[in-house]
Structure 1
């Protein structure tokens, strides 16, 4: 911590609630991301520290590890390893601007990774490596601010959920917080698994439509619902998805629409969301394996393999619940 506080800090972003710095240690050249929190709503340093300790124990490949924290009367710092590959928001904006390709498989892989990390956060029990101890449900800390800028990507473009639990210490009545989370916040505006499911559903809609709402501020959930209601469902997908992988996008759209239900009791749990997305991935992989072994040798696409059926009958239509 002493080395970190002595190191030069490069301010990367700033908001009403925090400042984010990139810090390089002189001793070993390691880079860290340091978030300085402002206007923290914590009853005591103990409450802040205990929450950060709980968060630090969540070890999962899709959750950005918490390296450390500092809590004093003057400041509160949260420290992560710096991720040079940027965020999902950067990738989405680069795709929209034509600077990067964003294929369907990568989109689906990122969605599945986020779901895996979130499902892990909401697990009800610790695994057997923890000597049979169990977590109480009220000790689970919701994320509270799930959005593409808080999904970092490692060198393999695997998603890492950041900012977990920090919303607990933000003032939800401050206009800056509401603006920064506009479009991702569930109608009930609370910290819960179902509220995080809503935010995840909006991210799924962004991956499917190729639209970024952190920049545009559009009500993406409302727009997609209206398109489905008017039976223009296939038009919600962006050109990359529509041209190549729309048969797999429909069941993912089903998941997203369920997540962004206005009523939290109608939304799935994160475990249920993960299960459905993994089903899509497995089905797609199985069909691709069948295609690679034998398919379309005569160049015909008529009844040669299941790949050429748009959607299996077992999937509900995206508009079936609306």
Structure 2
């Protein structure tokens, strides 16, 4: 920076000298013009010079004669142009010197600064692997003879059955023994691999006749897998649709057995979680209730509410089943189960229509058209259907505190099933109980509904 200042000072002095010389030269020329010398050697009066200029301005050409020895414009103009060029040249030379001084100062500062850290080449960075990479594995909850390898699963024929924001479902047929499985692929999960493994071991240990058993779980570096036995009967949704289309019978006894089975499965979930943190199902609906070859209901998707990211809005995707409070709890599962009971009684499907079934049924009851809510098959057994309607209306109460627990719902449904002579022995409970007035034990008294058992 000192060198830069010195250069600027030299340039300023040079420019001052040039300007001074130019001024002296100009004054000398002007003085020569105004002080012409006469023939006798005396200085001409300024008045005479002025008179000549005035006569010239009015067109008298003979009035003014250029002195022989005077200095005129064409004699000193080249000197002025040369001086101007020199000034411009000196300016650019000085500018370059100043910039060079700045560059040298920057280099000096960088030279005095500490050296930057040595980073590995880009090729080395690209080759760095994670500290721990889990290899693809499958963990089974079935006997050895039923197990297979991840490679068998990846090479199997797979047909997409459905997909959503958080998961996809495939029907997979193994090549070696033609066994068919339902494989659920989770797209994203908030759990780490270790957390996922710990949680799935707890789910796999749950064994109940109304829960879809988990055959195995697995994972790769990019996804997590849940493996179940494929149920050829499909879901309760598909069976109810077939009934509406006239492709199958769906009698009252079958529907009541299904209602009892679902309630038992949900009650088992909450009984097993007693003393531990409860894990609600969170997605009870017709398509998540599968039926085996005997029409026994199997609750699927249990535990999946913990495996998906709640921020993705994967839960409560079917608004017709979601409780108003939009939270995961036993009370919200009771609400969803109440909607399923209403679907079994009315023959109306919520999942695809988006119908607010609880509101519709309450409106029919309020207008004293209660008997009209039943499906034609259920209307034949209205004597038993009315108590079940009372239970379902209690389940879909707007406030969570007004809903019964799963255990209470199971108890009341079993009371209905015990007085029905047409139920199969496998689907009835061994506990004998006397029918009670379900209207007053489950539904508030102001909800008086005709047909309750007395």
Q: What range describes the TM-score normalised by the shorter chain of this pair?
A: 0.7 to 0.9
Mapped partners of 1:106, 1:75: distance in 2: 38
The answer for the alignment partner of 1:74 in structure 2 is 222
1:65 aligns with 2:213: yes
Task: Select the residue among 301, 304, 323 that pairs with 1:166.
Answer: 304
Partner of residue 415, structure 2: 279
The match for 1:300 is none
| CA RMSD of superposed structures (Å) | 2.1
Q: CA deviation at 1:73?
A: 3.1
In the TM superposition, residue 261 of structure 1 has moved relative to its aligned partner by 0.7
Give 2:275's aligned residue.
136
CA 1:173–1:205: 2 relative to 1, 3 Å: farther
* Aligned with 2:194 (options 39, 42, 46): 46
Match of 2:403 among 267, 273, 281: 267
Unaligned runs of 5+ in 1: 126-134, 289-311
Report deviation, 1:224.
0.9
Equivalent residue pairs, number:
286
* Residue 27, structure 1, aligned to residue 150, structure 2: no
Taking structure 2 as the reference length, the TM-score comes to 0.60
Describe how 1:221-232 pairs up with structure 2 within 5 A.
Answer: 221-232=358-369
Q: Is the 8 A contact 1:45 1:72 kept in 2?
A: no
* Residue 80 (structure 1) shift: 0.2
**Unmatched 5+ stretches in structure 2:** 1-148, 425-434, 448-454
Question: 2-side partners of 1:265 and 1:252: how far apart?
Answer: 20
Distance in 2, matches of 1:27 and 1:123, equals 39
2:161 to 8, 12, 26: 12
CA contact (8 A) 1:17 1:177 kept: no
Report the CA distance between 1:208 and its aligned residue.
0.4
Contact between 2:391 and 2:412, CA under 8 Å: does it hold in 1? yes
1:301 aligned partner: none
Residue 314 of structure 1 corresponds to 437
Larger RCO: Structure 1 or Structure 2 (Cα < 8 Å, ≥ 6 residues apart)?
Answer: 1
1:201-220 aligned within 5 A: 201-220=338-357
Check 1:228–1:137 CA distance in 2 against 1; reply closer, same or farther (3 A cut).
farther
Residue in structure 1 matched with residue 370 of structure 2 by the alignment: 233
Residue 193 (structure 1) aligned to one of 314, 330, 338: 330
Deviations 1:213-233 (A, max 9, x none): 111111001111111122221
Distance in 1 separating the partners of 2:338 and 2:213: 24
CA distance in 2 between counterparts of 1:224 and 1:320 reads 17
Cα distance in 1 for residues equivalent to 2:364 and 2:166? 36
Q: Output the CA distance in 2 between the equivalents of 1:269 and 1:29.
A: 43
Q: d(CA) in 2 for partners of 1:236 and 1:39?
A: 41
1:295 match: none
Q: Over residues 144-168 of structure 1, what are the superposed CA-to-partner deviations in whole Å (9 max), with x where a residue is unaligned?
A: 1011100000000110100001022
User: TM-score normalised to the size of structure 1?
Assistant: 0.83
- CA distance 1:229–1:174, shift in 2 (3 Å): farther
Q: Which has more radius of gyration?
A: 2
SS at match of 2:290: strand
Conserved? CA contact 2:172–2:180, under 8 Å: yes
Distance 1:315 1:255 in 2: 8
